Structure 1
Amino acid sequence: MNDTACSPAQVTVDLDAIAHNVRVLRERAGTDLMAVVKADGYGHGLVPSARAALAGGAVALGVAQPAEALALRAARVGAPVLCWLLTPAMDADALLAADVQLASSAPWSLDAIAQAARRAGRTAEVQLKADTGLARGGAFTLPVATAPDPRTDFEVLVRHAAALEAEGALRVVGVFSHFAYADAPEHPTVRAQQEAFADAVRLAERAGLRLQVRHLSNSAATLTTPAAAWDMVRPGLAVYGLSPVPEIASAADLGLRPAMRVTAQVSVTKRIPAGQGVSYGHTYAPERATTVVDVPIGYADGVPRHASNAGPVQLGGQRFAVSGRVCMDQFVVDVGDTPVEAGDEVVLFGAGDDGEPTAQEWAEAAGTISYEIVSRFGPRLPRRHVGEVGA
C-alpha cells in the first residue's frame, strides 16, 4: 500500500523546503527554534520532517504524544525532544530511558515523572507548562476567586517542582506557554498573555528554578510578535511552509516554501448529458453535455467532504473544481470539453508556483484552516520525500 508505483494518489514532500523554512524562521526570530513535528510532522512525515528541520538549524523538536517522542528516538533522532501531552497512562519509564523532556501541567505528572526517575536512578528533565489565558493545557497562572487554594495552579506546580528538584528526582529546564490569539497580533490577549508569561517566569525563578529555556511563540507569534521570542520560538505550521496568518500575509510574502504536494491519477473519464446529476445526492448537474473524470482519492484519504462542489484542482494546467460530493474513495470533476485521459495527473494542491491550488485555497473551500488540510492526509496515501536534506 505504501508503494507509490501502485497507488492512485500520493503526497510528495520537499524536505529542502522544510529546511529553508526553518532557516527563515530562525532569522526572523533571532533566537533558537524548536520545530514542532507532532501529528506525523503535520502530515509530512514525522522522522523525515524532523531531520529536515534539524538540518535547517532547529535545536530541538516538539511533539504532543509520547508515542511520537519514542518514534523519533527509535529512528535515532538524537536532538532534544519535548513531549507535552501526558496522561496517567503514559510510560514514564520508557520516556525517561529515551531521554525525552516531559512537560508538566499538574503535580500528579511531576510525581509520576519523579517516581520513574527514582526507579531509574537518574534525574528527569522537565518543563513546566503555564496556562496564561488559553484555558487548555498547562497550569493556570491567573487567580480564581472561587478556588479552594489562594495560590494559582501554576504557583502550586512550581512549588511542587522545586521540592522534587531539591530531592534530585528532576530538574526543571524550562517554562513555556501557548497563545490563544497569536494570529491576530493586535488582539488584547496577546499582550496580556505575554505579561502573564513574564510573571510565570519570574515566579519560577524566584522559587530557585534555573531555567535554560523560556518559550511562548508559535508560528503566528514568531512571524508577527518579535517581542515574544524569549529564548526560543516554537513554530509548527510555518515549518511546513504555510502561513499561519493568511489574512495578513501569504506564505510567499513571508518567504516560506510550502513543502507538500498532493496528486492523483484520473481513473475514469466519460461524457454525460446536460442535467445528469453527479455523485451522491446529485448536488451537481451540468448545464450542457460535458466530460467528467473520476479522481480516486476521497475523505478516507483526507480530502475534506466539506469541500464538495468547491475544492480546486488542476488538470493539464487548467483549474477546475470538485463537482458534486466528495466520496470516501473518490470525487468527480467536470472538465467541460478539455481532453483528459485515464492516468492524467490531477493536482489537488502544491506550492502554487505553477498555478496549482494551495492548501490555503482548499482550507477556504472547506471552511477550515490549512493546518487541518495538510495534517488530515492519512497513511493510505504513500509519502515520497524529495530533496537533499533530512535523509
Structure 2
Amino acid sequence: MSIYTIAEIDLSILKNNMNVISSITHGAKLLNVLKANAYGHGIIEIAKASEKFKVDAIGVATVEEGVKIRKSGIKVPIIVLFQHFKSEAEEVCKYNLTPIISNDECLPYYEKYMERYRGSLKIHVYIKVDTGLNRMGAKPEEVLDLAKKVLSCKNLVLEGINTHFAAADMKDSAGKDFTREQIKTFNEVINNLKSNKIEVNTIHSANSAAILSYEESFFDMVRAGITLYGYPPVNTNADIKPFMEVKSKVVLIKKLKKGESVSYGMTWKADKDTKIALIPIGYADGISRKLSNNWEVKINNKYYPVRGRICMDLTIVEIFKGNVNVEDDVLIFGNDKKLNAETMAKRIETIPHEVLVRIGERVRRVYKD
C-alpha cells in the first residue's frame, strides 16, 4: 500500500538460526525450505543468503520456484519437494533441479530431456516414501522396484530417499507413537534397499518439529522449514528467533468524540473522547480481517489496540496514551514477545506459517545484514 509499509528481514538472524539447527543436528546436512516465497520472506534473497551461509540444499514446492531460484544464479542443489507434472520434466532437466518422485511416470521424460540439456551429466533423483502421511510418496513395498527402475536409467542417479512426518509436532502419546512408527517403517525401507545392494547418497526425514524432538530422524540431512524462520512448532530452549518484522508508519491522526464509531460496520465506538491513528496496511497486505478489534500494534515502545474493522488498505488504532505523531514507526508483528506471528496465529486460529506467507507482494521486503 505505502512505501513506508515494509517487511524488514534481518539476515544475521537467519544465519544464527541455521547455525543453531546445525548444532542441534550434530552437523547433519541442512536443507532450507524456501517454498511459498520463503515463507513470505522473499525467495531470491533468502536463497542467496542461504548459499552464502553454506546451506547444503534448498527445498521448493514447485518446479516454477526452483527455476526462479536457479535463474538468479544459485548453484547449490535445489530439491523439488512435491510431485510435479510430466510436462514440467523438461524444465527439471534444463535447470538441473533435483526431483522427488512417488512413481515412475516421469522417468522416461527425464531420460529424454537429459540427453538434450545435460549431455554426459546425470539428473539426481530422490524417492519419497509414504510412511503414513498418506499424501505423496511410494508405499514402502513399492520403493525397491522404483529404485531399480531409476537405476536402470542411464541418465539418472538415485540420489536418495526421504519421508515426511504427520505428527512430529504433537505432544501426546498418539502423536509420538505414530512418529516413531513412521521412523521404524522408514528404517525398514532403508535396510531393504541395503540388503538388495542399493546404496543412496542422502537420506532425510526430519522436518522442523522432528529436528527439535526426534534425534533418530536426522539421518544424513534435515529439512528446516518454519523453525528456520524463527517459529519452532514445539517448545525448545534453542536460540531461534524470527527475522522478519512487518512495519509501517502512522499516516494520519484524528480526534474522536465519545460515542463515535470507526471503520465499516460500526463495530467499535469510543467510550470517551480519544484519538485514532491510521496505518497504511490492511487485509490486502496479509493482515487478517479477523484481527479487527483483536490485535495491537507497537508505537514508540507502547502497545495500542486495533479499533474497528481492518480495511483492505488501512488499520486503525486508538492512541489514548503516550505521544504519537504522523510518520512514527509502527510494529505490526515481528521479533517481539507480544506481537509475533505465533501470537497472531493464535488470535485467528491458524498457524504461524499462514501468517507469514500471507504477507502480500506490495509489502516491500527490506534486507539487512
TM superposition score category, shorter chain reference: over 0.9
Say which SS state the counterpart of residue 85 (structure 2) adopts: coil
Question: Quick check: 1:306–1:366 contact (8 Å CA) kept in 2?
Answer: yes
Gaps of 5+ in 2: none
Inter-CA distance 113–209: structure 2 relative to 1 (3 Å threshold): farther
Counterpart-to-counterpart distance in 1, 2:59 and 2:294: 34
Which of the numbers 199, 210, 217 marks the counterpart of 1:228? Answer: 217
Question: Quick check: 1:175–1:211 contact (8 Å CA) kept in 2?
Answer: yes
Identity of aligned residues (%): 29
Equivalent in the alignment of 2:156: 170
Is 1:318 aligned with 2:293? no
Inter-CA distance 282–110: structure 2 relative to 1 (3 Å threshold): farther
Equivalent in the alignment of 1:22: 18
Which of the numbers 24, 49, 52 marks the counterpart of 2:46? Answer: 49
Question: Quick check: 2:150–2:158 contact (8 Å CA) kept in 1?
Answer: no
Which of the numbers 276, 288, 291 marks the counterpart of 2:260? Answer: 276
Equivalent in the alignment of 1:197: 186
- How many residue pairs get matched? 363
Counterpart-to-counterpart distance in 2, 1:89 and 1:348: 42
Which of the numbers 63, 68, 89 marks the counterpart of 1:66? Answer: 63
Equivalent in the alignment of 1:136: 135
Deviates more, 1:300-309 or 1:87-96: 87-96
Q: How much has 1:206 moved relative to structure 2? A: 4.0
Q: Structure 2-normalised TM-score?
A: 0.92
Equivalent in the alignment of 1:100: 97
Mapping of residues 1-391 of structure 1, within 5 Å:
7-30=3-26, 31-88=28-85, 90-120=87-117, 121=119, 122-141=121-140, 152=141, 155=142, 157-184=143-170, 186=173, 187=175, 188-245=177-234, 248-249=235-236, 253-352=237-336, 357-387=339-369
Counterpart-to-counterpart distance in 2, 1:102 and 1:130: 14
Which deviations, in whole Å up to 9, do the C-alpha atoms of 1:16-74 show, x marking residues without a partner? 11111001001101111111111111111112212322333421111111111111111
CA RMSD across the alignment: 2.0
Say which SS state the counterpart of residue 136 (structure 1) adopts: coil
Give the letter for the 2:4 counterpart. P
Question: Quick check: 1:22–1:57 contact (8 Å CA) kept in 2?
Answer: no
Deviates more, 1:61-70 or 1:183-192: 183-192
Counterpart-to-counterpart distance in 2, 1:164 and 1:215: 18
Q: How much has 1:386 moved relative to structure 2? A: 0.3
Counterpart-to-counterpart distance in 2, 1:368 and 1:310: 14
Counterpart-to-counterpart distance in 2, 1:60 and 1:167: 24
Equivalent in the alignment of 1:145: none
Question: Quick check: 2:63–2:84 contact (8 Å CA) kept in 1?
Answer: no
Give the letter for the 2:6 counterpart. Q
